[in-house]
């Protein structure tokens, strides 16, 4: 009988299982449940940062070089009416069709001998003193339940773990009409801030699996995903849709999808609780990068941590993980998410125009962006250097 139910087979759920197995959990102790049948659609730009690709390589080395529904880019481009600059990481970024990426990861879970139940919606979870009851069509008891059920997770809600900030995003597939896009770059456009929307718009190449000849060429100027992230969830969905279509037209794109679809994002906060006895959260159910909404890589990083902590609890025969959230905050991924949280609070907070100006003129930050040695979202280690150089620039009147 499985002792641990993992709810949600997105990157958080599958990577949790794969990391748990690596930590020594027996496959027969795990069951992975998802309400969807795979491959299932997931609204997502599908962009994986350089660190994200490394994280996938760690759990699924065979997947990175062979996945057919993907493309590679060389850099990110941040832009707004103040100017633009390239962000070069220590390696390239990968673009995936999420339906395919998630289905491939799920295959690996199945191949490892773990029971997978698709088409199984969890309606609620009740944490008791010595087991957790999971409601589907009937009920089933487990020693542990792992909530990897994403932005609208039922697990967190059922056990009273309140969410942090929830953003609102819309996205669709477009094709260039007057645009001459560079399929090797990911565009992050911060102009929405000028229109009172705390977020950015994106233009990402889209490696649609069924477009013949597109996969792996990396040069196909075919389809693109355009969308907008409202990082505070303050704008109405219809305003975000209108903004995105106008943005697309300005940039020379025509919508291919019949409509712009919307989905929320749940952001990491150092205050969010993610554990009660017998239940823990991972991935977006706990929270992702609040600055740009990078979700795939942080979900895998959180799951690596969560799987290790659960294994410790199983070995100790306990149902409470001491300092689950606090200890994560001290890990490198936890510190980086906290750093992103601080940046998001500034850029999407009370003085967005001021911090947008800082982002586009902070000399040291621009040097790091150009260096090609760093990774997006992993700059916490440079906090003091960045703060010092910011203060110096302020004092010398250059900001």
Ligand X SMILES: Cc1cc2nc3c(=O)[nH]c(=O)nc-3n(C[C@H](O)[C@H](O)[C@H](O)COP(=O)(O)OP(=O)(O)OC[C@H]3O[C@@H](n4cnc5c(N)ncnc54)[C@H](O)[C@@H]3O)c2cc1C
Given the rule CB under 6 A, which residues bind ligand X? Answer: 7-13, 33-36, 42-47, 121-122, 148-150, 154, 169, 171, 227, 263, 265, 283-285, 288, 293-297, 299
Nearer to ligand X, 147 or 222 (CB): 147
Nearer to ligand X, 301 or 362 (CB): 301
Give residue number: closest CB to ligand X.
295
Least distance from C-beta 8 to ligand X, angstroms?
Answer: 3
Least distance from C-beta 169 to ligand X, angstroms?
Answer: 4
What sign results for the dihedral spanned by CA atoms 106, 24, 33, 160?
A: negative
Least distance from C-beta 361 to ligand X, angstroms?
Answer: 26
Nearer to ligand X, 72 or 149 (CB): 149
Nearer to ligand X, 107 or 364 (CB): 107
Least distance from C-beta 300 to ligand X, angstroms?
Answer: 9
What's the length of the chain? 399
Least distance from C-beta 253 to ligand X, angstroms?
Answer: 16
Nearer to ligand X, 259 or 350 (CB): 259
Least distance from C-beta 16 to ligand X, angstroms?
Answer: 9
Least distance from C-beta 291 to ligand X, angstroms?
Answer: 12
Q: In whole angstroms, give the CA distance from residue 239 to residue 201.
A: 13
Structure tokens that stand for 187 in this block: 């565009």
Q: In whole angstroms, give the CA distance from residue 123 to residue 119.
A: 12
Nearer to ligand X, 50 or 360 (CB): 50
Nearer to ligand X, 143 or 294 (CB): 294
Phi first, then psi: what are they for 132, rounded to 5°?
-120, 130
Least distance from C-beta 397 to ligand X, angstroms?
Answer: 38
Least distance from C-beta 386 to ligand X, angstroms?
Answer: 23
Q: In whole angstroms, give the CA distance from residue 222 to residue 216.
A: 13
Nearer to ligand X, 43 or 221 (CB): 43
């Amino acid at each position: 009988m499985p002792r641990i139910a993992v709810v949600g087979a997105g990157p958080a759920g599958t990577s949790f299982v794969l990391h748990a197995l690596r930590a020594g959990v027996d496959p027969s102790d795990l069951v992975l449940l998802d309400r969807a049948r795979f491959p299932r659609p997931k609204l997502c730009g599908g962009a994986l940062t350089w660190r994200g690709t490394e994280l996938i390589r760690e759990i699924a080395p065979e997947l990175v070089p062979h996945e057919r529904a993907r493309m590679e880019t060389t850099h990110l481009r941040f832009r707004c009416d103040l100017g633009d600059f390239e962000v070069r990481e220590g390696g390239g970024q990968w673009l995936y069709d999420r339906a395919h990426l998630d289905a491939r990861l799920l295959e690996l879970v199945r191949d490892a001998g773990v029971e997978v139940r698709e088409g199984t919606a969890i309606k609620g979870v009740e944490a008791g003193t010595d087991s957790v009851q999971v409601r589907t069509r009937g009920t089933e008891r487990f020693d542990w339940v792992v909530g990897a059920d994403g932005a609208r997770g039922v697990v967190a809600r059922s056990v009273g773990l309140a969410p942090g900030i929830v953003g609102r995003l819309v996205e669709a597939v477009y094709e260039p009409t007057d645009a001459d896009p560079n399929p090797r770059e990911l565009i992050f456009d911060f102009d929405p801030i000028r229109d009172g929307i705390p977020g950015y718009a994106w233009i990402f190449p889209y490696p649609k699996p069924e477009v013949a000849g597109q996969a792996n060429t990396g040069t196909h100027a075919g389809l693109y995903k355009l969308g907008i992230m409202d990082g505070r969830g303050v704008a109405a969905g219809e305003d975000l849709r209108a903004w995105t279509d106008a943005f697309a037209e300005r940039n020379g794109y025509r919508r291919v999808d019949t409509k712009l679809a919307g989905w929320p994002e749940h952001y990491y906060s150092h205050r969010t609780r993610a554990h009660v006895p017998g239940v823990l959260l991972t991935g977006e159910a706990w929270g992702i990068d609040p600055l740009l909404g990078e979700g795939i890589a942080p979900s895998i990083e959180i799951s690596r941590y969560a799987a290790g902590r659960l294994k410790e609890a199983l070995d100790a025969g306990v149902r409470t993980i001491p300092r689950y959230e606090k200890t994560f905050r001290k890990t490198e991924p936890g510190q980086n998410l906290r750093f992103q949280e601080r940046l998001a609070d500034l850029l999407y907070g009370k003085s967005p125009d001021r911090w947008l100006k800082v982002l586009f003129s902070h000399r040291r930050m621009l040097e790091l962006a150009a260096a090609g040695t760093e990774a997006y979202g992993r700059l916490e280690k440079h906090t003091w250097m960045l703060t010092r150089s910011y203060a110096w620039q302020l004092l010398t009147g250059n900001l």
